[in-house]
Amino acid sequence: MCCNRLWREWTLLCGRILNDDGLSVSPASIRLIQPKDNQAVKQLVLDTLREFGLHGAGFAGVDAELDDMYQAYDNEFSAYYVIETDGQVQGVGGFAPLEGAAAAGIAELRKMYLSPVLRGQGMGQRLIELCIADATDKGFKKMYLETVPAMEAAQALYQKNGFEYLSERLGDTGHHNCHVCMAKTLHG
């Protein structure tokens, strides 16, 4: 299992970011979060939420874990990744047991955000594949997420990867203003 995970990470690690002319300009890599990333991760999350007009209670921007994302995901049942280009954090995402439903074997896909420069470059696909594979390796049976209607491109990515819309939310994420709920069965 360990070797499969390492091979999968290696195959997902490298990508190239394209400029507006479609020319490759910089390498991108996906890696596990490190303590030094905390501030950049928090800033990317807050900037993305602000871009979509999402602020206040019921959204990820008020989660206490934003102050130390490394610590929040530094355990055997969670993982959080950063996408880095030219030494800058340009994308983030991870998973952890779904609060209020962990006993059911449900992982929550959490705080998956890409800066505008990464969107449409395939790095979101690589990141979600890594999260799904890692959660499956850790024994989760289902992956759940919450988002908002305005994040249409994200919803399309989730659907492409087998997520289906739910009529009601699962667990207790605290994100009561995220009205779009989706889930996917994981096959290990």
Q: Using DSSP, state whether 54 is helix, strand or coil.
A: coil
Give the chain's domains with CATH numbers: 2-185 (3.40.630.30)
In 3D space, the residue among 140, 187, 188, 181 whose CA is nearest the CA of residue 164 turns out to be: 181
Cα 10 from chain centroid?
18
Q: Give the pLDDT of the chain (188 residues) as one tens digit per residue.
A: 443 444 344 334 445 444 444 444 467 899 999 999 999 999 999 899 888 887 777 677 667 788 999 999 999 999 999 999 989 999 999 999 999 886 789 999 999 999 998 888 899 999 999 999 999 999 999 999 999 888 899 999 999 999 999 999 998 887 777 888 999 999 86
CB 172 within 8 A of CB 140: no
